[in-house]
Structures are given as C-alpha cells and as structure tokens.
C-alpha cells in the first residue's frame, strides 16, 4: 500500500519547479512536488490568496451562498481519484464532509426521462476498488488543495506569463517572464495552463494546428429551493445517483450537491466526425448543430475557455427541444450557464526534448471535460510526478524520471480518453438499431442483481459493461510508480552509487 505524501521518501537532490497555472492540475502538482522535497513557485494570473478561505466569521448559510456564486459547478471524483486524494492530509475528511457520494449511474431516455438502466455502485464492488465515487464543487476542491500548498510552503506569484526562456548551454535552467516585468527562474517548468496551453506548442508542436472544437458543453447550476417549489421537479432533489439523459446526438448529465444545495447539470455533444477526422477516430458522425461555438453570445465572462452567460435555451449550441419538457424547465431555473469549448488533439509528448517543460492536466491531454476522468487524470499526473521525483538523488536521474513519467502516463491517458469518448458516443446515439441494442443491454441492470464478479459468467454482457468502467476506476498511480521502482529502480540506484551521489546535495 503506498504511503501518504507526508511520510514518503523525499528527494536529496532538490530542484526548483515553476508551475504555470493555478488551477487544480497546477496546485495538485505543486503540492506533490513540494512534499517530495522540491522548491515550488506557482505563477497564476488570478490572485489565489482571495480564494483560500471565507474566514471564521461567515455563517454556513452565507458561506454556501458565496460558494454558489463563485463555483463553476461540480466535477466527478471517481475511485481512482478518491484513492489518491484520500492520502493527502485532511482530504478524506474533506470529501466526506463536502462532496456528495454517488450511489450509481442512472441512464434515462432523453425524450421522456424513462429509466432504461441503473448501474448501482454495490458495496462489494466499491470495497474491491477501495474508494468511493463523489461529485464535488470545482472551487471547493481547488481551495482545499490550495490550502495544502500554502501549508507546505509553496510560493505563489501573481502574473501573466508572456515568455519562456531555456538556456541551451546551462543545464536545468529556465526563466518565466511575466507581463509586469517580473521573471521567475527555476530548473523545470510545469505546464498546467489548461487546454489552450501556451506551453504545449513548445513541447509537441505537431498538435498546435488546432482543429474545430469537437466537443461542446454547457454547465448550469440550479438552486435546490427553486426545484422544490415545483411539484413536477422536486423529485430531482431526492436522488443520490448520477443521472444521464441520453439524447439524439447529445446528452445531459446531472447530480445533486447537498452541501451547496444545488442541482448541477452538464450538457454535452460531440461535433461531426468529418470535422474531426484527423483528430480522433472514435467520434460519431452526428449532424451539425444549429449553432456553432463561434456564434455563442459575446457577452459574459470568459476565462480559460469557460464563458458564462444568462440561461437561454435558444442560445445553446445544440437543439434540446426533443428532451423531456420537465428537464428543460429545470435548466431554465439556473441563474447562468457556462459554455465550454474543447479541442481534441492526438496525444503528443508530455515532456520537451530537453526536459525543461513538463505538461500536466488539460495542457497535456484532451480527456473529455464533461466526462468522469478529466480531473482524475490531472490528479494522477500530479501524484505520479511527485512520487517519481521524491526519489531524485542526483541531476543525472532527472532525464530518467521524466522519461518514465511520460511513458507511464501516455498509455493510461490514451486508454482513458478513448474510453470517455466511446462512452459519450454511446449515450448520444441517434434512433436506430444501435440505440435499441444499447438500451437492451442497459435494461439488464434493472432486472438482475450484480453484486460480485465471482458469481457472474465472464461472457455476460453486463459483466463486460462493468469491466469497462472498472478498468478505468481500478488504477492507483502511486502503485504504478512503486511497481516501476521495484523493477527498474536498481538502475538509478546503481548509477547513484557509481557517481557517489557527489551532486545529491548540490543547489539547483
């Protein structure tokens, strides 16, 4: 069993990492590398100190109101992510106190909300996984990780990055220049600046030719009291499962967050395959929507690809008129909706050729924003980097550890990305034989108990469906690192002994 961050090995050769981006990916990476023994500076254009805490004098009711006003909605925390977070100080308590535990996945027909299937997260299965599935407010998780960073001594610098300098003649030297004239020096840059990353072209220029967005989405957070006022909508506030309404070329998913008393809805659709043929072959050949992302309303705040505007179903980038009218009425009760535009690119390198830049999170990979694993992949990136670099003993090992990070993450991220897009493809099927077959498979979950794999036939279609979920859920990034160290760590140890660890205590 991997140890917690506070008790694991710490590097004896200390580097300074400059993390560009103060979102969840950047903060998580800053925390894991800091607890691995390295110096960390996070550069973020926002003032993150304004987001640390609401203070001791704010009532619970006022706190919830502030959280609702600031949040970007919920994100999913699947077992593979929960496993990692639970090892961080106070994080397990935070999840059980603040996040909402999900009992399963409910699949409904979009037109009339008929439940065609329910994949219950049986206790026996979750025990085997060793962790729960939660939904948690985006900003709550970010603030919690920010607090961990501050507690461990991570440095924060407010500023907008305008230039990157790498000295070709000076090993392990990078310099990040900011708009206000500041410069931040270090040994390695962590690119955590999101899916529109300015650092990605420096690492993998082959993916810099952006294609039209292949996935578009809308997030809406609805105050629970507005739903409770409507007799036909109140039942939405009584469920603890994650619900998916499956439409013709689009989907709607929702989960109730009892800690903030909000019902969070996400709408998502893939764009046509002929507009993404060179990007990802698993995307379905759906018809074009009525509204292109470029035609979305220009008003509203836009930050990192999130554009917030008043709720207006006529302004959506896809047609929802065929969905259950009650669902549409619920969406209208939201105060604002936030658009997302995601470009899907083929997985490229995560580390620059000279090892000066390392990408994490959306800067590194295009895992579906509205899926279950967008944030979990960022947390896995962070956990793996921190675990690897906690074993750094001399500068000659840097290249080995970076190569290992890239190799281990590439296969995992590719498999997860494909699984997520295939799932989106499945729940967005148009009417026809394929859709009927999908519904027939899902209906098996309504009539049969499925508590333990040991009691099931390996050829069972339901077993196959569960295995596809569990294959992604049942992954521990720290165990993967420990397995790698047990097989190949001797090579690093041998090299260190040969060098006498002469530079293990050198300053970077």
- The pTM score is 0.86
Beta carbons of 395 and 13 less than 8 angstroms apart = yes
Q: Return per-residue pLDDT of the chain as tens, 508 residues.
A: 565 554 478 999 999 999 999 999 999 999 999 999 999 999 999 888 776 654 333 333 344 443 433 445 789 999 999 999 999 999 999 999 999 899 889 999 999 999 999 888 888 888 888 899 999 988 899 999 999 999 999 999 999 999 999 877 666 789 999 999 999 999 999 999 998 899 999 998 766 555 544 677 888 889 999 999 999 999 888 777 889 999 998 999 998 887 778 888 998 888 653 433 333 323 222 322 233 333 333 333 344 445 567 778 877 777 889 999 999 999 999 977 887 777 777 777 999 999 999 999 999 998 888 888 999 999 999 999 999 999 999 989 999 999 999 999 999 998 898 888 888 889 999 999 999 999 998 898 887 776 555 666 656 666 777 777 788 899 999 999 999 999 988 777 655 555 555 454 444 4
Q: Provide the strand spans (E) within 215-281.
A: 215-223, 242-246, 251-257, 262-270
Q: Which CATH number fits domain 5-101+138-209+346-419+474-499: 3.50.50.60, 3.40.47.10, 3.40.50.720, 1.10.3720.10?
A: 3.50.50.60
- Mean pLDDT computed over every residue of the chain: 81
Domain boundaries, the chain: 5-101+138-209+346-419+474-499
Query: What is the percent of the chain with per-residue pLDDT over 70, rounded to a whole number?
Result: 78
For 121-136, b/e burial (b = at least 16 CB within 10 A) is bbeebbeebebbbbbb
Beta carbons of 470 and 129 less than 8 angstroms apart = yes
User: What is the rounded end-to-end Cα distance, in angstroms, of the chain?
Assistant: 32
The Cβ of residue 359 has, within 10 Å, a number of other Cβ atoms equal to 28
Residues 379-410: tens digit of each pLDDT: 999 999 999 999 999 989 999 999 999 999 99
d(CA 215, CA 204): 22
């Amino acid at each position: 069993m991997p140890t917690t961050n506070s008790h694991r090995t710490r590097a004896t050769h200390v580097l300074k990492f400059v993390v560009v981006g103060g979102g969840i990916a950047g903060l998580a990476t800053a925390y894991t590398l800091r607890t691995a023994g390295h110096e960390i500076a996070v550069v973020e254009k926002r003032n993150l100190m304004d987001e640390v805490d609401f203070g001791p004098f704010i009532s619970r009711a006022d706190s919830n109101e502030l959280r609702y006003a600031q949040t970007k909605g919920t994100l999913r925390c699947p077992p593979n992510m929960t496993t990692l977070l639970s090892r961080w100080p106070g994080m397990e308590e935070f999840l059980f106190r603040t996040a909402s535990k999900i009992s399963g996945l409910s699949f409904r027909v979009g037109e009339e909300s008929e439940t065609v299937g329910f994949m219950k997260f049986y206790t026996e299965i979750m025990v085997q996984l060793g962790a729960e599935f939660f939904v948690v407010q985006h900003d709550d998780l970010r603030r919690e990780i920010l607090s961990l960073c501050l507690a461990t001594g991570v440095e924060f610098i407010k500023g907008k990055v305008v230039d990157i300098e790498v000295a070709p003649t000076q090993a392990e030297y990078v310099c990040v220049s900011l708009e206000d004239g500041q410069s931040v020096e270090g040994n390695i840059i962590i690119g955590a600046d999101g899916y529109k990353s300015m650092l990605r072209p420096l690492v993998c220029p082959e993916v810099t030719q952006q294609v039209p967005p292949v996935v578009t989405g809308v997030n809406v957070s609805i105050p629970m009291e507005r739903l409770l006022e409507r007799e036909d909508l109140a039942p939405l506030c009584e469920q603890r499962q994650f619900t998916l309404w499956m439409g013709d070329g689009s989907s709607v998913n929702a989960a109730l967050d009892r800690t903030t008393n909000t019902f969070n809805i996400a709408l998502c659709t893939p764009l046509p395959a002929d507009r993404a043929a060179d990007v990802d072959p698993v995307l379905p050949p759906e018809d074009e929507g009525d509204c292109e992302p470029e035609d979305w309303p220009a008003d509203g705040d836009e930050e990192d690809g999130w554009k917030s505007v008043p709720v207006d179903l006529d302004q959506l980038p896809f047609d929802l008129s065929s969905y259950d009218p009650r669902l549409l009425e619920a969406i209208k009760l939201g105060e604002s909706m936030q658009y997302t535009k995601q470009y899907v690119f083929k997985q490229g390198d995560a580390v620059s050729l000279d090892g000066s830049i390392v990408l994490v999170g959306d800067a590194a990979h295009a895992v579906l924003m509205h899926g279950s694993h967008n944030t979990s992949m960022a947390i896995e990136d962070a956990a793996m980097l921190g675990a690897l670099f906690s074993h750094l003993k001399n500068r000659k090992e840097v290249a080995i550890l970076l190569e290992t990070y890239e190799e281990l993450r590439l296969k995992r991220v590719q498999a997860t990305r494909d699984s997520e897009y295939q799932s989106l493809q499945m729940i967005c099927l148009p009417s026809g034989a394929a859709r009927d077959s999908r519904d027939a498979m899902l209906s098996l979950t309504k009539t049969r108990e499925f508590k333990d794999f040991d009691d099931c036939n390996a050829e069972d279609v339901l077993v196959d469906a569960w295995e596809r979920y569990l294959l992604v859920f049942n992954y521990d990034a720290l165990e993967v690192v420990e397995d790698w160290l047990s097989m190949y760590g001797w090579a690093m140890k041998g090299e260190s002994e040969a060098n006498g660890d002469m530079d293990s205590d050198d300053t970077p």
